[in-house]
Each structure stands twice: as C-alpha cells, then as structure tokens.
Amino acid sequence: MSGTGSGPTPATATTIAAVQGQGMGIKNQLLEDYDGVPFIRPRYYPDVNMKRSRDYWDYENLAVNWGNQDDYEIVRKIGRGKYCEAFEGIHVKTQTQIVIKILKPVKKKKIKRELKILQNVCAGPNIVKLLDYVRDSQSKTPSLIFEYINNLDFKQLYPTFRDYDIRYYIREVLKALDFCHSQGIMHRDVKPHNIMIDHSKRQLRLIDWGLAEFFHVNTPVNVRVASRYYKGPELLVDYQLYDYSLDIWSLGCMFAGMIFKREPFFRGSDNYDQLVRIAKVLGFDGLSAYLNKYNLELDQHFDDLLDRFPQKSWTKFVNSECAHIAHQDSVDLLDKVLFYSSVAISWLSGLGVDLYTYQVACPSSVIPSCWKRRHLLGLFSQLTDVGLRSFATHLAT
C-alpha cells in the first residue's frame, strides 16, 4: 500500500461484517475492506469530495496567480516550523498588521495543496484568513499572507484557564474542525502551537494547513503527519485508511492536557514510546482489540515495550491542582474522544461536546427551568449534520 494518496480510487470495498459502534448514536456501521485492509466509512461527511467537481480537490492542476510581494514588508520573526518561517509584517499601503508565512523549498505539489485547501476553508468559522499569496520574482520563494492574531503563547495562557475558558475554546476549535470536515478536509496537525488565541478578544484561529489533506474514501494516506504528542493511534500503527477522527483525537489530547494541567498529556520520547504512553492509559486490551479489528501487526520493536497495561480511570489524573476544572462532564467527554477505535471519534462526538459546552453560551444556573429545554434545543440546532441534530433534539425532548 502506498504511503500517500493521490486522489479517489474506484470503490473496491466489500462488506465483511457489521459492527456495533462505541460512541453515541453509532449503530450498524459497516466494516469494509480495501485491498485486504479493513476500514469503516465515516458516518459524517464521507462523500463530500465525490459529490464535488474535480476542480474542488485537484490541487495538482491548480493555476496560481501570485500577488505582488512588494505590497508587504517584514517587521519581525515570530516563529518557524519544519516547512516554513513566520514573520509579523505590514501591508505597505494600509499599514495593516499581517502575518507572512515564507515557505521553505518543498515540492510544488505540497505548496499547491496547502493553497487550495486554504482557499476552500479560510472563510469558515475560526479558521485563519488567507489574504494573499505572493512569490519572490528572483528566487521564486512563495509566501502566504494571513490576518494577524495577537496570540499569547499557550504555555503561559493555558495554566490561567478557568473551567469556562476551556469550554469556550474547545467549542471554538470544534467549530473550525466541523467546518473543514464538512468541506471534505482533514487538518492533520491539531496542537496548541497551531491554535492562535487572542484572549483579550476571546478570538481563536486554527492555523497551519500545510499537512492538511482532502479525504477520499478507500484512499490510503500518509501516516507521517501530526506532531508526536498529538498523533492518533492509527498513525502510530501505520494504519493508512484513517479519516477526520484523527483531528478529534489530537484535540482530545489537548483537552486532557488542559483539564489535568499536564501538557502534553501523552509525552512520548519517540513514536514507539508515544504508543506505549497511550497504552498505559487506555490499556493494552483495547489496543489489542483495535489491532485485531483492522488486521494490523505491530512493529517487532514493540515486543519489549508493550505490556498488558490495565486501563486507567481518568479520575486518577485529578488532583488538587486541577480538581476545579476536571469535572465529571469533562471526564465523560474524554471517554468519547480518546479511545482506540476510530469509529466514533468524529463530529458525532459533537453531541457530547455540545452538552459539555452548554454552559458557555449561558450558565445553567441563570436560565429559568421553563427555558432550559428551549435553550438546549437552540444549541442543538447549531449542529451541522441533520441526522445528528435530529438525534440530539430527540434526546432533549
């Protein structure tokens, strides 16, 4: 099986079993087969790119009309990554603050993919706004121009969060993820470093779409994505038929770090140790069942690393330092987003998240009892998926 997907492939899947999902509202999910490798079709947004014209997702044939680099000036360096350097800058004519992301030499295909995906999602909620894209006339080095966010480093910000803040910002990230998933796109690098927060304005932006990819059913994709501490189990066991659920796992790792004041929550020394750290919390039996379900075999390197670790209760991570924010509904939400099977780690988890973030819009204590049901129904109506909205409304009735 190839390491990267180049687009949708003809459906060769055949139903080999019906499995019972583990998350809320999951029933009759079909375990299918692609070249001998089982996978489960996502219940939400599975065929977005099949229903759109090829122009929507075919980034390799994107014709780029580069803007004028002289319209912008660099002020100072604010960050760097494996594939880019980031600078604060200004738009010369308007003196507006902007961010300039200068891309390091990579394949044109990767640059076009990031640009095409940004064009498709940047109008979505809480997604960084792409303003322009320019290229140096001599070196041909491309740069992307973004809106400026007055971000405070998460290492300083997260320790100050109250319960209310965590609920609010988790909801804001989920809005961004639900939108990009609804557009048939996986972010694949969700982590604190890629979530800009201007806390004074309570403004959040999901940034860095350099590893994002279009989702196509039955199409193997690269597992060398995401940052180690936020990699889902599917990446660590080389399972290439993953889907949007990867982003929710990564957000779950962030969420655990926030409520338990332990960032990163899974701190592996390398990719092997990362899976071991996960198994020490979620248990070895769950990992074994996951591997068996998808006909996966672990690298022999794990033979001396993995033991029959028992599953730990999330309450074991609650201490005097975090008890004021690690409430029961927080722990219940972790159960819905951090577990081995990718079946339910999707926007279906939004039902649980919406209940969790219920207090964000208006604390329950200030809502008259006769209005609580109507308020809850109003929150449910904001969910994107019609089926999920209907199911949630049924629960609230």
189 belongs to the catalytic site: yes
Phi, psi angles (nearest 5°) of residue 387: -65, -45
Whether omega before 264 lies within 30 degrees of 0, making that bond cis, reads yes
Measured CA distances, 280 to 7, 201, 241 (Å): 36, 39, 25
The torsion region of residue 7 among left (phi > 0), alpha (psi -120 to 50) and beta comes to: left
By 3-state DSSP, what share of the chain in percent is helix, strand and coil, each rounded to 5?
Answer: 40, 15, 45
Q: What is 174-217 written as a DSSP string?
A: HHHHHHHHHTTEE----SGGGEEEETTTTEEEE---TT-EE--T
223: tokens are 């597992």
- Looking at the DSSP bridge assignments, the partners of residue 143 are 102, 134
DSSP single-letter state for residue 142: E
Q: What ranges in 93-199 are assigned the alpha helix state H?
A: 108-121, 154-157, 163-182
**What is the bridge-based pairing of β-strands 213-214 and 203-206?**
unpaired
Q: What is 17-39 written as a DSSP string?
A: EEE--SSTT--SEEEEEETTEEE
- The C-alpha atoms of residue 265 and residue 370 are separated, in whole angstroms, by 40
- The C-alpha atoms of residue 337 and residue 239 are separated, in whole angstroms, by 18
User: Considering 165, 178, 189, 243, which one is annotated as catalytic?
Assistant: 189
**Taking a C-beta distance cutoff of 8 angstroms, is the pair 314, 331 a contact?**
yes
Measured CA distances, 137 to 60, 140, 272 (Å): 22, 6, 44
65: tokens are 């009309």
Q: Which residue has the tokens 């962030």?
A: 254
Catalytic residues: 189
